[in-house]
Amino acid sequence: MSQATEVARMSESNQVVAKWDSIKQFYRDVMQEMKRVSWPSREEVSGTTLVVIIAVFFFGFFLWGADVLITLGFDQINKLFR
């Protein structure tokens, strides 16, 4: 085997090892960062979830009502110009 081929193989091997080491370091960093996270309590999550659900229904009904009123308005305008 030529020296250039062997150097290329060693270089590929080093790249694989370096890539694997960077992946392991990434996961170590992620685990370390997850330990620093301030997680909300069950009560906080339940409270904010309830607020979101209520807001979704409120705005859903509001937009439905606005859509109905706008549609009725355009229907009246259409009747005037026919």
Q: Tens of pLDDT along 35-58?
A: 999 999 999 999 999 999 999 999
pLDDT for 3: 60
Range of the domain at 64: 40-82
Does one domain contain both 57 and 81? yes
When divided into structural domains, the chain yields a total of 2
As a whole number of angstroms, the distance between CA 23 and CA 30 comes to 11
Return the sign of the alpha-carbon dihedral for residues 77, 78, 81, 82: negative
Does one domain contain both 69 and 49? yes
**pLDDT tops 60 at residue 4:** no
DSSP letter for each residue of 18-51: HHHHHHHHHHHHHHHHHHH--PPPHHHHHHHHHH
Tokens of 52: 């979101």
Does one domain contain both 29 and 57? no
**pLDDT tops 90 at residue 12:** no
Does one domain contain both 53 and 82? yes
pTM score: 0.55
Does one domain contain both 6 and 27? yes
As a whole number of angstroms, the distance between CA 46 and CA 43 comes to 5
Regarding predicted confidence, which is higher, 43 or 18?
43
